[in-house]
């Protein structure tokens, strides 16, 4: 009977772990923690306000080579910069504000409202208002005197609803030398009557003088617009 001999088993294979130990020592643990915290996921993002403030303080910290400035000086400089920015914005948007005020009131209306009054009455009220310092009323009444006087002299027809600029463009061919003054007076009238603006002393005086000038001037031609 033949006996079968099993082959002898070779030496057992040993697997050696080459990665980091499952339980690192203290130094290794600190190193791994520092590397993890250094990742961008854990970094706090500085706000734009903080960055702007840091830039501003760094900009003036060594002004003139005199070293860091006191805290109150930095605040004063910041306030001056803000005031300058606001002033620039206000200057740049003043025309837009004026347009918005006019828009709230809609299209400017007629110069002469209600029953037709004599130009002399408007002229008298304008002079009294100017003397009393009521500049808005002086502008309105003086320009109404211009409108009423044009109708009385048949330079323009008695058309209801004529606006300030329609009056100015209608009288410009009649008094060509006063074209610019008429347009400026129309702007002042609309700004005060429909734009919630206050008239200046110069504007009031110019409109009153314009009425007096046209009242005594000889028209170049007659218009019926």
Q: Are 224 and 158 in contact (CB under 8 A)?
A: no
Q: Is 23 left (phi over 0), alpha (psi -120 to 50) or beta?
A: beta
pLDDT in tens, 149-171: 999 999 999 888 899 999 999 99
Q: How confident is the model at residue 86 (pLDDT cuts 50, 70, 90)?
A: confident
pTM: 0.53
Task: Look at residue 131 in the predicted model and tell me its pLDDT.
Answer: 95
Q: How many CB atoms lie within 10 A of CB 10?
A: 6
Distances in whole angstroms, Cα of residue 55 to Cα of each of 50, 60, 121, 152: 9, 9, 65, 69
- Is residue 189 within 8 A of residue 164, CB to CB? The reply is yes
Is pLDDT above 80 for 191? yes
Q: Pick the residue with more confidence: 152 or 55?
A: 152
Which of 11-15, 89-93, 142-146, 173-177 shows the lowest per-residue confidence on average (mean pLDDT)?
11-15
Which tokens belong to 181?
């003054």
């Amino acid at each position: 009977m033949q006996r079968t001999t099993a082959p002898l088993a070779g030496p057992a294979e040993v697997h050696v772990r080459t990665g980091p130990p499952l339980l690192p020592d203290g130094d290794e643990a600190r190193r791994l923690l520092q590397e993890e915290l250094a990742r961008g996921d854990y970094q706090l993002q500085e706000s734009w306000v903080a960055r702007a403030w840091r830039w501003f303080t760094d900009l003036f910290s060594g002004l003139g080579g005199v070293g860091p400035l006191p805290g109150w000086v930095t605040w004063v400089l910041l306030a001056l910069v803000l005031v300058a920015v606001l002033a620039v914005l206000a200057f740049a948007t003043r025309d837009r504000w004026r347009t918005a005020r006019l828009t709230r009131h809609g299209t400017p209306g007629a110069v002469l409202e209600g029953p037709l009054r004599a130009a002399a009455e408007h002229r008298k009220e304008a002079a009294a208002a100017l003397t009393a310092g009521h500049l808005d009323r002086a502008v309105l009444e003086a320009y109404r005197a211009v409108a009423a006087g044009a109708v009385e002299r048949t330079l323009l027809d008695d058309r209801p609803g004529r606006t300030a600029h329609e009056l100015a463009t209608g009288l410009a061919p009649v008094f060509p030398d006063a074209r610019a003054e008429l347009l400026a007076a129309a702007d002042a009238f609309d700004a005060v009557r429909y734009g919630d603006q206050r008239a200046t002393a110069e504007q009031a005086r110019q409109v009153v003088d314009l009425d007096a000038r046209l009242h005594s001037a000889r028209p170049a031609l007659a218009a019926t617009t």
